[in-house]
Structure 1
């Protein structure tokens, strides 16, 4: 009896559920110590992704996506003179897998346009790098630019390159046909690291860094002396970044959703016509 009741409760969901493929393309950017504006396309990079979506009802869906994005930032674009004098920059590629729950404010099977929101969990990988004075690509984490992993700075632990994030955001969907939906969305990622850009706290002693990691580490830790009129390497403990605020990254663009199985909007409407109670006849 309990099994029959359970099937009876799940049957309405099963008859409305369907699988979809999501294809995404847009831009990615970040907010941190090298980017003054929280949301901007300045210095933005490209992003794209693909995934599967399972519609539980017309309002609720579960999604899983693999997403690739590139972000970068440089002090040369800063409005503040002291940041431009620091002359730091970085780039990184971000690979992300996420699992999301999505809610449509309107049922897209009955409305051509609907706003939606989403949230979930994500695992992402990053590896910040820059280019030295000769144009050679240099990864920053092994250089311990803020003393990470050095015995002289026991509180500075090396940061992990693969971490968890909390993605959330929203957008608006446009139903193109029974099978295809086009959406524009923006998704933010709440991070638990301040080292997405390899900048967080304070400069370490130049001689200590030189002895432990070599001249390349000193060159990448402070680049103000590489510009005209730039100052020398700052004293130990001088502020380099702001550790009170973690970094963020975000992605925004177009998403195309293509239905896979046989349940279409026309089928949904036909089923409603069959299953709905008949109109009262007088």
Structure 2
């Protein structure tokens, strides 16, 4: 199963690379290539909201095609280090007792459309900066490890991996250093289709006595498990640098 998921991820990376090459033709308008560094974090059953105590490193490489003055297509490959632990900032007494943790590496391939709110891409624009928003589709592969401190013998411990589609969206601001070089500060949100990045799901199992009653200890063990209706999210905040390759193009006014 792990091999199948990893092969799917490699296929997505290859597809993204081929798509990027397909964009480069003799009629190209304007292209940008770049990369950046930042921080990554997650929210789910261990962390319910953004928490600076669970930050990890993040990096990205991307190619971008600017179609006109405001619209761009960006294809990217990203890496993020995700981790969280109940002991850092437990959401309640049961979470503190559960003492779950996880950590691992996430790889993502994505394609997003960017919309610039100012006439930023026009070669004669008076604006050297512009806020922008983006929305698209992606695919991520996560390889990690985790355990419950309350019960070291719990079978839900050790290494694991998963793959999931993601919906990337967010906001940022770009600034032109000159005609070729640019900077961008971006906050990105990723909605996943999985509740297993933190390896906490709703698959609780209880043992019962002869009277059919659940052992009190087993009721406590139920707190290991999370809300199946809430999917996990992860987030990127980073600074990128890009280099533009421009050919002749007649912009519409």
Q: What TM-score, normalized to structure 2?
A: 0.74
Aligned-residue offset at 1:166 = 0.6
In structure 1, what is the equivalent of residue 233 of structure 2? 248
Aligned-residue offset at 1:46 = 0.4
Q: How does 1:92-131 map to 2 (within 5 A)?
A: 92-108=104-120, 109=122, 110=125, 111-130=127-146
Rounded to whole Å, the distance in 1 between the matches of 2:79 and 2:217 is 36
Aligned-residue offset at 1:128 = 3.0
Query: What SS class does the counterpart of residue 35 from structure 1 fall into?
Result: coil
Query: What SS class does the counterpart of residue 218 from structure 2 fall into?
Result: coil
Rounded to whole Å, the distance in 1 between the matches of 2:28 and 2:119 is 12
Structure exhibiting the larger radius of gyration computed from Cα positions: 1
Q: Deviations over 1:200-247 (max 9, x none)?
A: 21432479xxxxxxxxxxxxxxxxxxxxxxxx9634982421112111
Any conservation in 1 of the 2:29–2:246 contact (CA below 8 Å)?
no
Aligned-residue offset at 1:43 = 1.1
Rounded to whole Å, the distance in 1 between the matches of 2:64 and 2:217 is 51
- Note the residue ranges of structure 1 that are not aligned, 5 or more in a row: 1-13, 142-160, 208-231, 277-282
CA 1:206–1:97 in structure 2 vs 1: closer, same or farther (change >3 Å)?
farther
Any conservation in 1 of the 2:59–2:80 contact (CA below 8 Å)?
yes
**Superposition RMSD on alpha carbons, in Å?**
2.8
Q: Deviations over 1:3-52 (max 9, x none)?
A: xxxxxxxxxxx989201102121001001001132x23221100001011
Higher helix share: 1
Aligned-residue offset at 1:175 = 1.2
Number of residue pairs the alignment of both structures matches: 208
- Note the residue ranges of structure 2 that are not aligned, 5 or more in a row: 1-25, 209-215
Q: What TM-score, normalized to structure 1?
A: 0.67
In structure 2, what is the equivalent of residue 190 of structure 1? 191
In structure 2, what is the equivalent of residue 65 of structure 1? 76
Higher strand share: 2
In structure 2, what is the equivalent of residue 32 of structure 1? 44
